[in-house]
Amino acid sequence: MLTPEEIKEIEHELAHYEQPAAATIEALKIVQKHRGWVSDEAVADIAAKLGTSPASVDSVATFYNLIYRRPVGRHVIHVCDSVSCWVMGQTRLSDALQQRLGVKLGETTTDGRFTLLPICCLGTCDRAPAMLIDQDTHRDLESVEDHRLDAILEKYK
Amino acid sequence: MTLRTAPPDRPLTDRIRPEHEPYNLREYEKHGGYQGLRKALKMAPQEVTALVKNAGLRGRGGAGFHTGVKWGLVPMDGSAKQKYIVANGDEMEPGTFKDRLLLEGDPHQFVEGIAAAGYAIGATVGYVFLRAEYFLAAERLRKAIAECYAHKLLGEDIQGSGFTFNLYLHTSAGRYICGEETALISSLEGKRAVPRAKPPFPAQSGLFGKPTVVNNIETLCNVPHIVLYGAEWFRSISKSVDGGTKIYGASGKVKRPGAWELPMGTTAREILEEHAGGMRDGLKLRGFLPGGASTDFLTADHLDLAMDFDTIAKAGSRMGTGQMIVLDDHTSVVGMLRNLEKFFATESCGWFTPCRDGLPWTERILRDLEAGKGRPGDLELLQQQTRLLGPGRTFCAHAPGAMEPLQSALKYFRADFERGIAGTAPAKVA
Amino acid sequence: MTHARKVTIQMDGRSFEVPADSNLLHVLLEKGVDLPYFCWHPALGSVGACRQCAVTQFRDDNDKTGRVVMACMTPCSNNLRVSLDHPEAAEMRKAVIEFLMTNHPHDCPVCEEGGHCHLQDMTVMTGHNYRRYRYTKRTHRNQDLGPFVGHEMNRCIACYRCVRYYKDYAGGKDLDSFGAHNHVYFGREKDGVLESEFAGNLVEVCPTGVFTDKTYGDSYTRKWDLQQAPSVCAHCSVGCNTMPGERYGRLKRIENRYHGELNGYFLCDRGRYGYQFVNREDRPRRATRKNGHVETLSVQEATAAVSELLKGGRAIGVGSPRASLEANHALRALVGAENFYQGESKASAELNALALDILARGPAKIAAIRDIERADAVLVLGEDVLQTGARVALALRQAVRQEAFKMAEAAKVPAWQDASVRILAQDAKSPLFVATPAATGIDEIATRTFRGTPTDVARLAQEVLHLLDPMPAPRAPGLSDDDVHLAHTIAEALKKAERPLIVAGTGCGSRVVLQEAANLCTALAKLGKQPSVSLVFAESNTVGATLLGGPSLDEALARVDSGAADTLVVLENDLYRRLPAARVNAALGKLKHLVVLDSIPTATTAQAEVILPAGSFAESDGTLVNFEGRAQRFFQVFVPNNGDILESWRWMQEIGLAAGRDMGDALDALTAACAASAPALAPIVDAAPSAKFRIAGLRIPRQSHRYSGRTAMHANKDVHEPRPPQDPDSPLAFSMEGARINLPPAEIPIFWAPRWNSPQATITRFQQEINGPLKGGDPGVRLLQPDPAARPPYFERPAVLDHAGLEVVALHHLFGSEEFSALGEAVRQRVPAAYVALNPATADRLKLADGATAAFAGAGVTIQLPVRLKAELPEDVLGVPAGLPGVPTVAAGSELKPAGGGA
Ligand SMILES: Cc1cc2nc3c(=O)[nH]c(=O)nc-3n(C[C@H](O)[C@H](O)[C@H](O)COP(=O)(O)O)c2cc1C
Ligand code: SF4
Ligand code: FES
């Protein structure tokens, strides 16, 4: 069941489009904002709300990189793996993160704190390598000493 | 309200205060803001379009299509009840970070631009398609939009002109292909971002089947200035046949990576050596992608070329977004290509065959070559793919974009690839 | 389609005259060029996704480089110059296949698609025979999609045909594409039965082995080892053309058999999967006689016994709307015309006669499926076509797209540019109105719907009639303002349309609905329109049986009651599905002898003294007349190897012979005699060439030229190769030898052309033009030729019936309401449990909760079943599923009352 708050937000978006199904992506993002991810049940609820089918909502949901169809940790770390960051040594950053968190890319730490994912160019190539944790962009991570990484991760409980 | 005394020569970044909050509406107006829109509203829509055409504004999204010409394709005879203008703020081209700068630094400039553009084509609704990760830009834009609604600069009957324009922000859910204009339209319709066949062009049948213009954020930001200061002025601040300035940029192992608003047609050398401070100590320039991941490599031999659409095209590349990615002599060319092709392969929407199934193959061969496990014939295969996925063969420009760095790398750095054939030492990764 | 300007195009030294702006791929395929393709499908149009149909296009004669374009996306302009042979195009086509195959598992030896696989054909055609891709292939998890369709996603080449067919064309909701890049996945959002009534077509639409026919896969035979014959679907009145295939005495599958005007490329799932009853072990397989105990008779003993029973002169025969014209005629000839009765209740027979009369005498064109697809305004009256004539509903889904095509034409976008047309038109639909007692599966595409009893539906139509022709047609009484407004909307839409269509049928059991449908056609004709009409009947040969005529079953039973007849011969008919059981039992109780010929076990065979095992559609030949009055011949697919099954008409020929009456010894004699019996039937002899027809002296083989194991398949019984069965009834042979080219369209047992093995692709080789008629004309002959100038008087306004109890409204189920299909294993899994339906308010008044079992009585029946609440049903109506196993037979329009005694 969608919560009244989710419904209100979805209806707000609906008002912006000529066709209800156009709000599919917004609806998915709204649900994800509140719950962290989008369950099968939520897919069906969104479909009912927008007058489309669960299959077509899921078809959209699974297409986009930033809709999570499986539960994620409390915080999601997106490490940029595109070219400028790569040139600037993002591989080291990504390796370091995997080591510190004890997970591989695409996995969630056992304590449910972090999910580690790769992401395309974050648009901050002049300060590469970069990563996004939740909504915060962390830049200039070329030389990732452990204590700096720890200090960053510390902020996310 | 004050007018700027003299027309600026860096109009786009003039009002940006680095590391500060952007101007709010009052401050923006104090610095000459919304004068362009006000002026436009007093003109006939077709006049605005003609002005933009004369100014020689070319799309800053990468393809460099003439903006005025694109607007001119929209039916203005009243046959279309609803039309749309869409701002392309997807900016997922690796190496590109200019639209973010503009939106975070001066959101009102953009709102003014899209409203004027909407007026020119007769669109009453505009959408900003913004990539998901630009949280700060989204926040600032939302605030600017709200201010405009509160002050009758958006919504019904703007400033008593009779023109109604509603602007909505759509944040993406993440996919590079959303930046392709027809895929972007699919995505705005709440669908999978799959590109569409042309014709019909969006100007005839775009969003929800209605005439639609898609323009890049930077393109739209130029519009108020052109209206305000005129076509002549716009051409005068450029060093090239194309009008205006350009937000150039550089990333990679240069001393001062960054982005700068410079006259259109500034040379690559000036950008690289003066503004980016040249290569880091001990590194040499091997090549650069002039405007994002989907442009052909150029080399040190091309540094004196003017960075404008036609000059760079003549040299066998594309200016693209004008934001260079620099390759130094300590970084593996093959590794860089592998990284690029992995990006393109995973960002393929999966609609048509060569792109969907060809790119992953390309990436795997490159992975082998990078690890020194390539096989004889691999380079020929890559070469063939650059042809098969190249311009004219594909459904949209994603795959040809993917082939541009590859084909040029095979041309300029072939030996690096040859070393990846099994038996030779693997190319070292930086 | 239209009389377009002609242009000349050039291809590799050949030049063709073609209509301007026609699609280059269409044109080349029509000319017999071997140009590979995937994402294009003749019914789905072009999207340019697979990039397989690459050709090189040149600017002019001096241009030697050219540029590679997709034929399927290229309109033919004058002097278009293209080349298939040009190295760049050839390289492109080869490379595309190579790309497609990078993730394909190469599992042809274990794949059900092998041998009729479009992907195999195209791979061979492009010359891709060496694999350079050396990496791991991506793999997927498969889904359980229910009893009909198998799923093997690893074989997918991502051509997107499945979703384009299922979602865009058939309006399905539960199949889609998921994920992106080379991980795209085609399936449901989770495991589960594919909901569309047309899901089975995926099997043919998918160019490789992702979606396969599960019933076929469960008992698999290679395509080239199937013995096939052209057939006609036995499961409803539309009469789609089918291609059944047999091996080792079992029917293995049904495929679509293209018919340009009728089914086109698609069947419904009842038609595709309904065949399994043929393989049931418990079918009557030997002649038996009950005489205290059941004894088995030889064919000779059985014919002798029945001819003996007929001798008394007190025998009558009851025919069947699910038996061929020839079978019905043979029975009539055997018992004598004065002793022959239609196998329908009086109520049904009268309704059928009325419907037939409307078709024959009205001004409206009788719509073939193709005409339905082209209608630009449709009014459906009373009939739930998705359940009673499903193929019509699929056609209506295309009809509402006429608006889109009009918009495309205005924007100069060719109709074949599928994606562009859809983008342009978005949700625009041409008008469709559905006025029925219960909700239907096409409501979602309707402009507006109307719910009411059949009488209400007729009143709405009467109001529309009044609006079309105010003077003679009075206003309908008792309509709400809303309904009057709806009538206005409908009338306006019909008036505005160029090709208005009225759809109705016998399914709701209402005379007045049919009469109003007829009135509307007449009124539209008076307005100068060219209306079409489509009336759905109940069974595969209802129209044929009605044309043949005869008194009804009620009269036959009355004759038995009166003692004037003591022997009843029932032809392929279960009397218990026609009249209430009590009524049938009363008559049968008086009989001395009941002889039943049937292919399936029924309540009637259970009462029979003598049972003669009759051939199913797959084991016999004959002629059926479909809902548009088209006589179509179906042919015997195989000779059953288990038992003494004979065509029912052959039994009667044999019995006749034993009784000294010569009715010939093959089909043709009966067809001719039947044709001679009534002027309307005269053309049926032309439905297909006679048994004497030969091509260069040769018969037409039912087996492919690669049919294998012929000499070994019986070796477990006898190492001598048996003589193949002879076929005196058709030009077809149970053999792999004979003529294979220039076959008459009605007698094509295998659609095959060199290099083209997949049926939906091969078909282009047999069409006059893409989507057009078969070369030589579409099979069948139309028996009804309405006169556009006819202006029959309007039927009287419907009488207002006062119902004291609950009015029975028939509810239909695609899976369950039809007798044959419900006997098959796969379909049985889709058949709902028996129930009756009530409007919630009515249920409330009767103090019945959803799911409670309740009893209702009246009209000679008692029904005791669980109640299902259906909000859209009118009040005071009892919805009774027609023909559903476990639901007693009761005529629509009967009145029932709660009978207490509910559990
Ligand atoms: C694969 C692909 C990605 C693109 N991404 C972007 C993008 O992120 N932002 C953008 O403005 N244009 C992008 N474009 C270009 C757009 O298709 C389009 O040309 C542009 O938005 C038009 O605006 P302009 O005329 O103002 O440049 C992309 C094109 C392709 C083929
Ligand atoms: S499942 Fe079949 S029809 Fe669907 S995309 Fe894959 S190959 Fe094409
Ligand atoms: S058939 Fe032409 S691109 Fe697929």
pLDDT category of residue B430 using cuts at 50, 70 and 90:
very low
pLDDT computed for residue B1 by the predictor: 41
Identity (one letter) of the amino acid at C89? A
CB-based contact, C137 to chain B, within 8 Å: no
Contact C426/A19, CB-based, under 8 Å? yes
pLDDT computed for residue C796 by the predictor: 83
Both tokens assigned to A135: 């909504």
From ligand 2's centre to the CA of B264, what distance in Å?
A: 48
Interface of A with C in 63-82 (CB under 8 A): 63
Phi-psi region of C509 (alpha: psi -120 to 50; beta: other; left: phi over 0): left
CB-based contact, A53 to chain B, within 8 Å: no
Question: Which residues sit with their C-beta closer than 6 Å to ligand 3?
Answer: C 37-40, 48-53, 70, 72
pLDDT over 60 at C749, yes or no: yes
Dihedral angle sign, alpha carbons of residues C173, C179, C181, C184: negative
Smallest CA–CA distance, residue B175 to chain A, in Å, is: 6
pTM above the 0.80 mark? Answer: yes
**Chain A environment of B176 (Cβ under 8 Å):** 120
CA C618/CA C600 separation, integer angstroms: 13
Q: Which of C175, C179, C427 sits opposite A55 (nearest CB)?
A: C175
- Cα-based distances in Å from C797 to C455, C458, C523, C527, C802: 11, 9, 14, 20, 15
Is the CB–ligand 2 distance for residue C324 below 6 Å?
no
Residue among C901, C670, C827 at smallest CA distance from C273 = C827
Angle between helices C648-658 and C299-310 (to 10 degrees): 70
CA B134/CA B171 separation, integer angstroms: 9
The CATH code that applies to domain B333-418 is: 1.20.1440.230
From ligand 1's centre to the CA of B73, what distance in Å?
A: 18
Average pLDDT over residues B138-163: 97
From ligand 1's centre to the CA of B252, what distance in Å?
A: 23
Both tokens assigned to C289: 């006689």
Smallest CA–CA distance, residue B187 to chain C, in Å, is: 13
Alpha helical stretches, state H, chain A: 4-14, 24-35, 40-50, 54-61, 83-87, 90-101, 146-154
Both tokens assigned to C480: 């709400």
Is the CB–ligand 1 distance for residue B322 below 6 Å?
no
At the top level of CATH, the class of A75-154 is: alpha beta
pLDDT, one tens digit per residue, over B220-278 is: 999 999 999 999 999 999 999 999 999 999 999 999 999 999 999 999 999 999 999 99
- In sequence order, which residues have a C-beta less than 8 Å from that of residue C743 and are 6 or more positions away? C695, C700
Average pLDDT over residues C217-224: 90
Contact B209/C424, CB-based, under 8 Å? yes
- In sequence order, which residues have a C-beta less than 8 Å from that of residue C92 and are 6 or more positions away? B388, B393, C51, C54, C68
Q: Where are the domains of chain A?
A: 4-63, 75-154
Is the CB–ligand 2 distance for residue C145 below 6 Å?
no
pLDDT, one tens digit per residue, over C428-458 is: 999 999 999 999 999 999 999 999 999 999 9
Site of tokens 């002793």: C339
pLDDT, one tens digit per residue, over B262-289 is: 999 999 999 999 999 999 999 999 999 9
The CATH code that applies to domain B245-328 is: 3.10.20.600
Instruction: Report DSSP letters for C776-805, one per residue.
Output: T--SSEE-----TT--PPPPPPPP-PPPSS
Is the CB–ligand 1 distance for residue B8 below 6 Å?
no
Q: Where are the domains of chain B?
A: 25-236, 245-328, 333-418
**Chain A environment of B171 (Cβ under 8 Å):** 29
Q: Average per-residue pLDDT in chain C?
A: 95
pLDDT, one tens digit per residue, over A51-110 is: 999 999 999 999 999 999 999 999 999 999 999 999 999 999 999 999 999 999 999 999
Find which of C156, C181, C424, C426 to mutate to test the B interface (most B CBs within 10 Å of its CB): C181
Find which of A33, A38, A58, A83 to mutate to test the B interface (most B CBs within 10 Å of its CB): A83
Terminal-to-terminal C-alpha distance of chain A: 29
Q: Which of A50, A78, A82 sits opposite B343 (nearest CB)?
A: A82
pLDDT category of residue A146 using cuts at 50, 70 and 90:
confident
Average pLDDT over residues C266-278: 98
User: DSSP character for B271?
Assistant: I
pLDDT category of residue C382 using cuts at 50, 70 and 90:
very high
Cα dihedral value C414, C415, C418, C420, nearest 10: 50
pLDDT over 90 at B6, yes or no: no
CA C744/CA C761 separation, integer angstroms: 19
Q: Average per-residue pLDDT in chain B?
A: 95
Q: Which atom of ligand 3 is nearest to the CA of C37?
A: 1
CB-based contact, A15 to chain B, within 8 Å: no
The ipTM value here is 0.95
Residue among C602, C666, C614 at smallest CA distance from C645 = C614
- Cα-based distances in Å from C176 to A59, B102, B175, C165, C422: 6, 39, 19, 10, 17
Return the H-helix or E-strand segment holding C19: strand C14-19
Using DSSP's 3-state secondary structure scheme, residue B418 falls into: helix
Percent of residues, chain C, with pLDDT higher than 70: 99
pLDDT over 80 at A145, yes or no: no
Please report the number of interchain residue pairs, chain A to chain C, with beta-carbon separation below 8 angstroms: 32
From ligand 1's centre to the CA of C358, what distance in Å?
A: 61
pLDDT computed for residue C240 by the predictor: 98
Alpha helical stretches, state H, B57-97: 67-72
Is the CB–ligand 2 distance for residue C576 below 6 Å?
no
pLDDT category of residue C474 using cuts at 50, 70 and 90:
confident
CB-based contact, C50 to chain B, within 8 Å: yes
Q: Does domain A4-63 have CATH number 1.10.10?
A: yes
Q: Which atom of ligand 3 is nearest to the CA of C73?
A: 2
Using DSSP's 3-state secondary structure scheme, residue A14 falls into: helix
Q: Atom 23 (ligand 1): residue with closest C-alpha?
A: B215
Contact B348/C182, CB-based, under 8 Å? yes
Interface of B with A in 324-353 (CB under 8 A): 325-328, 331, 335-336, 339-340, 342-343, 347, 349
Contact A58/C178, CB-based, under 8 Å? yes
pLDDT computed for residue C902 by the predictor: 43
From ligand 2's centre to the CA of C173, what distance in Å?
A: 17
Both tokens assigned to B391: 């311009």
Q: Which of C68, C100, C180 sits opposite B393 (nearest CB)?
A: C68
Residue among B191, B195, B193 at smallest CA distance from B182 = B195
Q: Which of C176, C180, C427 sits opposite A56 (nearest CB)?
A: C176
Q: Does domain B25-236 have CATH number 3.40.50.11540?
A: yes
pLDDT, one tens digit per residue, over A28-40 is: 999 999 999 999 9
CA C640/CA C620 separation, integer angstroms: 10
**Chain A environment of C186 (Cβ under 8 Å):** none
pLDDT, one tens digit per residue, over C62-114 is: 999 999 999 999 999 999 999 999 999 999 999 999 999 999 999 999 999 99
Average pLDDT over residues C324-337: 97
pLDDT over 70 at C800, yes or no: no
CB-based contact, A41 to chain C, within 8 Å: no
Interface of B with A in 138-167 (CB under 8 A): none
Contact B354/C51, CB-based, under 8 Å? yes
Average pLDDT over residues C392-415: 95
pLDDT over 80 at C23, yes or no: yes
Average pLDDT over residues C259-267: 98
- Cα-based distances in Å from C135 to B101, B351, C94, C313: 42, 22, 19, 81
From ligand 2's centre to the CA of B248, what distance in Å?
A: 44
Smallest CA–CA distance, residue A27 to chain B, in Å, is: 10
pLDDT computed for residue B20 by the predictor: 86
Write phi, then psi, for C135 (nearest 5 degrees): -110, 170
